Amino acid sequence: MGPTPDPTVAALLDTSSTVRLRPLFEGNNISYAIGFKQINYLAEAAVLHHFRAAGLPVGELYQRFGLGFDLVDLRSRLGALLAVDDEVEAVVTPVTKDGEDRLGFTVGLFVEREGKRVKCAGSTVRVALRVDSHIAASEPLPAGLARFTTERLGVGEQRKTEVVPEPYGSLSRGRGTTGPDPVLTELIGEDNAFGWRYRIPYFYCHFNERMQMSGFLRVMEEVEDLFLADRGLAIKEVLDTRGWIPVVTQSRIELLDESLMEEELYTVYTVENVFKSLLYTCRMDCYVLRGDQLVKTATGTITHGYLQETRPNVWEMATLDDAAVAALSTPRKVSA
């Protein structure tokens, strides 16, 4: 057994916490429902509250100990609909095992429905504490915290490439490019996949340099939007003509390495399966090009279906028609 952890670290590892939160209005895109990104934001907010409740708020971790807080793995399963006016009870339970070098938590999000407590989502979260080179620690670390610190979030898989990227072009290309692009063409190969090249903006980043989990959630949301438009299933058109809107049942993002501010992020969105004309699962892989090395910095999956408005404000799962299944299942060739 190691030394007794500091009370703040013991609270992080052993004590559950509960906080009441409300989703951001930004996530109210369709009818009165809140989308998957904002539900994941609630899980992040609950873990941030857990650190504050333990006596280690993330601002103080940075100022006192030179540590940056990073969500490095976020897995969520969505159940009941979350509405714009809901107040969410978020319960954070520590699940870090002996010997692990990441702090682990489960997060349950609960709402009240007709007097009953209903779970609308559940998440598993892993947190790393990144030693920051921009600031010197002013105090020694609390006992027991050192094992969760790291000099780098990861060392992603690297592959050498001979292709030369096209110049990015003017900064007015705010949404980047979906091709033709030689790097995306190499990454996609013959897969049933879609590619997107995008300059990482500072507002997706934190601690002066690197992209944070919320930025990858935004990328996952946007690449889905671009992918569907590319396959002839643009969200507004499908909503207007069929009354369908995409809905997420589960998602996961894991950080494998660091993606730096203003690097170009190459995102490959691969259709893995279409299940019984109800759901489809895509894998998201993110890369940066450093010299002649393509470095995988993040990976994740997301499962989508469609909801159909059967009458005003009443939504049910839709069955994909043959045209939608074909669009999702058939690779679209893009030349370099």
Q: Which of 133, 151, 169 is the last residue of a domain?
A: 151
Q: CATH code at 239? A: 3.10.129.10
Both 94 and 172 in one domain: the answer is: no
| Residue 130 and residue 279 share a domain | no
Which of 151, 166, 186 is the C-terminal boundary of a domain? 151
Do 158 and 137 fall into the same domain? no
Q: Which of 44, 46, 26, 43 has its CA nearest to residue 35?
A: 26
Q: Are both 158 and 134 inside the same structural domain?
A: no
Quick one: pLDDT at residue 157?
A: 85
Q: Which of 120, 151, 182 is the last residue of a domain?
A: 151
**One domain, residues 136 and 235:** no
- pLDDT tens digits in sequence order for the chain, 336 residues long: 567 899 999 999 999 999 999 999 999 988 889 999 999 999 999 999 999 999 999 999 999 999 999 999 999 999 888 999 999 999 999 999 999 999 999 999 999 998 999 999 999 999 999 999 888 899 999 999 999 999 999 988 888 888 877 776 554 465 788 888 899 999 999 999 999 999 999 999 999 999 999 999 999 999 999 999 999 999 999 999 998 999 999 999 999 999 999 999 999 999 999 998 999 999 999 999 999 999 999 999 999 999 998 888 788 999 999 999 999 998 876 544
Q: What pLDDT does 312 receive?
A: 81
Residues 284, 297: Cα–Cα separation, whole Å: 11
Q: Give 173's contacts (C-beta < 8 A, 6+ positions apart).
A: none
Residues 84 and 54 in one domain: yes
pLDDT at 200: 95
Residue 319: the pLDDT is 94
Q: The tokens of 311 are what?
A: 């009458």
Same domain, 90 and 168: no
pLDDT of residue 3: 75
Query: Are both 44 and 74 inside the same structural domain?
Result: yes
Tell me, what's the pLDDT at 230? 94
Write down the pLDDT at residue 1. Answer: 53
pTM for this one? 0.94
Residue 210: which domain range? 152-336
Give the residue from 74, 13, 65 showing the smallest Cα distance to 251: 74
Residues 212 and 247 in one domain: yes
Q: Tell me the CA distances in angstroms from 195 to 102, 237, 297, 311, one per residue in order.
A: 31, 22, 15, 36
pLDDT of residue 336: 45
In this structure, the answer to whether residues 113 and 181 fall within a common structural domain is no
Q: Are residues 104 and 169 in the same domain?
A: no
Domain count, the chain: 2
Measure the CA–CA gap between 123 and 108, rounded to whole angstroms.
7
Please tell me the predicted confidence (pLDDT) of residue 2.
64
